[in-house]
Amino acid sequence: MANISKRNRRREKEIMDASKNRREIIAAQFSRRDLMKMGLLTTAGFLIPKNGLSARAPQFGGGGFGGNCFGFYGQGGTPVSPPTTPYLEAMPIPPIAQPVLNADALTGPLPQAAPNTAAGEGRTRTHQAFTTLPPQKYYEVHQIEANISMHPQLPVQKLWTFNGTVPGQTYVSQYGQPNLVRNFNDLPANNGGFGIQSVSTHLHNGHTPSESDGFPCDFFGVTKWYDQHYPNVLAGFASTHPPTGDINESMSTLWYHDHRVDFTAQNVYKGLAGFYLLFNQFDTGNETTGFRLPTFPDFDIPMMFNDKIFDPTTGLLVFDLANRDGILGDKFLVNGKIQPFFNVKRRRYRFRWLNGGPSRFYQFYITKQDNTNHNFWVIANDGNLLPNPVLTSNGVRIAVAERMDVIVDFSSFAAGTKLYINNRLEQCDGAGPTDNIVSASQGNKVLEFRVTSDAVSDGSVNPATNPSFYAVPAREPEDETRCFKFDRENGQWVINDEVFACDDVRFKVKRNDAEIWNLEGGFNWQHPIHIHFEEHQIVKRNGNTPTLIERGRKDVVRLGENDDVELFFRFRDFVGRYPMHCHNTIHEDHAMMLRFDIDDVGNSNESDCGRRF
């Protein structure tokens, strides 16, 4: 116990020092010119480390920064991006993936349950549900380098893509209609400075058999391919709710991204991510049926947010290979474009907001030109519809990998009105946000909505009528309780003091067991923790019932400093290996991950709460 309190005291001092530094920087409100005068910023835009000052120059061109700040660690001289004019280009909407005609139309041999190693497949394990849930649609995707413009004032970038776009194509699927995606690794010999040409594509939030999940160690090299079988089945189909699964476990906004162990941040930053949407008889994609949510794709729009850095001299994308704390960009992208605009009609829209990382937390507001807020409705957290819509007047916080589906109503605005998606959460470094909400005028305006004069009808449900979506599935007594502490030792990210290795099975969950997991955050750092395969419910956050927005089903849980959250799980239907990891992808790549296996035996809690420390 003595050691703990000693360590706590030391860390508390560190925290106080760090926040004092931050406060000083914020109070000083240095401009770029100030920093240059002080000799802290060179004309090339590099900050010079000095006396523990941790800040980066204010953003240029629109958005404004003022009270916001950027992390800088002195390693390698993280540059400040060149200026770009905001709202020059329309926000792209990723294309919808088109299936091939049938299995015969796939390049290469017919898909099969066993890995087809002889024909160049990188898979090593047999599909669990290939015969019981046979694929009905077949897709082919090629991971290739492509020339992508992220802003007209920056050069074309050589990015890594799924079929040539960033974000990748959107898969649109129905529950009960399994897909097979044949995934080819056709990446080039050169990585252009970062990234690795071996990949593992994870379907984030999928109730997916382990061999198709995109486990970090299931990567495959160039010229290889990998058949990923996505059953698109509701949790409980083979256990608690046969034969179709529990409708209240429906997921809607999923995404896919590279997950290659140690290189996830580099490969995702380079472009390897996209959306995967699931519809069913209630969330139909048509506003005249089911829950009557705005019709896809016209009024139901996926938006992936990323922050990135560009070299001030070449204008090329920079990934800081020397940063292990967390990378913050000073350019904000929506669907691959820096600060785009988006034309909207005078009606309700469903936006599927996804924080694509690598390390920044957002708190998004919709603000008008006069910097007042326009309230909106949160209908889904991590892509899972909440029991009822929640009106927010205080924005919505989204950590890396979290999704928030929102309904924004533009019907009250005259044609020509402009509104903004405005991030007002201050974050100075990779450790996490400061929790300071800057004024609307000081936020990062990442996208401009332009209300058009088009004639419009709106058949979607009005969230103000408090429609009901899915109920939160009932909990049951747990078979097992496990505890996890997320911390840092000697710059090594650890979970319960241990680091990740592919072959290190930390514990085994018995299939169809219910479990309680207690997750505890360490000092000084915040972590969005993602647990693969099954969704959880947040039972308690720091002893309290979670907020309405967190009172649903999730796959990412935000751990603030010293936070303690209690999660309820049921691990059903499939077996195999799955990870739990921090989704600040920099932390993830520096070993803040563990592997657990699901089997029919399980074992009791090796991370027993009572004897953990």
Using the minimum distance from each CB to another protein, give the nearer residue, 84 or 200: 200
Using CB under 8 A, which of 217, 514, 539, 548 touches another protein? 217
Question: Min. distance of Cβ 54 from another protein in angstroms?
Answer: 6
Residues 6 or more apart whose CB falls under 8 angstroms from that of 334 comprise: 91, 303, 304, 305, 340, 342, 421, 446, 447
- β strands within 27-178, DSSP E: 137-148, 157-162, 168-174
Minimal distance, residue 595 CB to another protein, in Å = 9
Chosen residue from 30, 60, 65, 72 binding another protein by CB under 8 A: 72
User: Interface with another protein includes 198 (CB under 8 A)?
Assistant: yes
Q: CA 123, 127, 131, 132: dihedral to nearest 10 degrees? A: -150
* DSSP secondary structure, 236-267, as one string: TTTTTSTTT--GGG---EEEEEE--TTTHHHH
Q: Is 580 in the site for another protein (CB under 8 A)?
A: no
Buried b or exposed e, range 39-50, using 16+ CB within 10 angstroms:
ebbeeebbbeee
Contacting another protein (CB under 8 A), which of 22, 41, 47, 54? 54
- Number of Cα atoms under 13 Å in the Cβ half of residue 611: 3
Q: Which one among 34, 89, 262, 561 touches another protein, defined by CB under 8 A?
A: 262
Q: Are 310 and 82 in contact (CB under 8 A)?
A: yes
Q: What is the DSSP string of 103-132?
A: GGGSSSSPP-SS--GGGTB---S--SSTTT
Cα–Cα distance for residue pair 267/50, rounded to 1 Å = 32
Give the contacts of 554 (CB within 8 A, at least 6 positions apart). Answer: 381, 382, 384, 402, 535, 536, 537, 538
In the complex, least distance from residue 73 CB atom to another protein, rounded to whole angstroms: 4
115 binds another protein (CB under 8 A): no
C-beta closer to another protein: residue 191 or 436: 191
Contact string (CB under 8 A) for another protein, positions 416-455, x = contact:
-------------xxx------------------------
Given the complex with another protein, which of 229 and 577 has the nearer CB atom? Answer: 577
Site string for another protein, 145-184 (x = CB under 8 A): ----------------------------------------
Instruction: Give CA torsion, residues 118, 119, 125, 128, to 10 deg.
Output: -130
Binding of residue 323 to another protein (CB under 8 A): yes
Closest CA to 78 of 246, 282, 307: 307
**Contact between 76 and another protein per CB under 8 A:** yes
DSSP conformational letter for 33? H
Pick the stretch among 95-103, 346-354, 384-392, 584-592 that binds another protein (CB under 8 A): 584-592
472 binds another protein per the rule CB under 8 A = no
Report which secondary-structure segment, H or E, holds 589.
helix 585-589
Give Dmax (Cα) for the chain: 70
Q: Give the other-Cβ count within 10 Å of 126's Cβ.
A: 12
**CB nearer another protein, residue 73 or residue 364:** 73
CA-based nearest residue to 58, from 78, 87, 83: 83
Residues in the chain: 613
The only residue of 308, 324, 508, 553 in contact with another protein, by rule CB under 8 A = 324
| # of chain residues touching another protein (CB under 8 A) | 59
**Shortest distance, position 263 Cβ to another protein, whole Å:** 6
CB of 521 to another protein, least distance (A): 16
The reply to whether 18 sits near another protein by the rule CB under 8 A is yes
> Contact between 314 and another protein (CB under 8 A)?
yes
Identify the residue among 8, 19, 75, 411 touching another protein (CB under 8 A).
75
Q: Could you tell me which stretch among 92-100, 191-199, 272-280, 371-379 binds another protein (CB under 8 A)?
A: 191-199
Binding residue for another protein, selected from 221, 411, 439, 472, defined by CB under 8 A: 221
Q: Which of 39, 416, 491, 543 binds another protein (CB under 8 A)?
A: 491
Please state, in angstroms and rounded to a whole number, the distance separating the CA atoms of residues 323 and 269: 14
Nearer to another protein, 372 or 490 (CB): 490
Contact between 13 and another protein by CB under 8 A: the answer reads yes
Nearest to 53 by CA among 31, 80, 35: 35
298 binds another protein (CB under 8 A): no
SS3 548: helix
- Give the H or E element holding residue 297: none
Q: Site residues for another protein, window 364-383 (CB under 8 A)?
A: none
Residue with Cβ nearer another protein (113 or 222)? 222
Stretch that binds another protein, among 25-33, 195-203, 298-306, 373-381 (CB under 8 A): 195-203
| Interface with another protein (CB under 8 A) | 13-14, 17-18, 21, 49, 52, 54, 71-77, 122, 124, 189-194, 196-198, 200, 217-222, 262-263, 311, 314, 321-325, 429-431, 489-492, 499-504, 524, 589-591
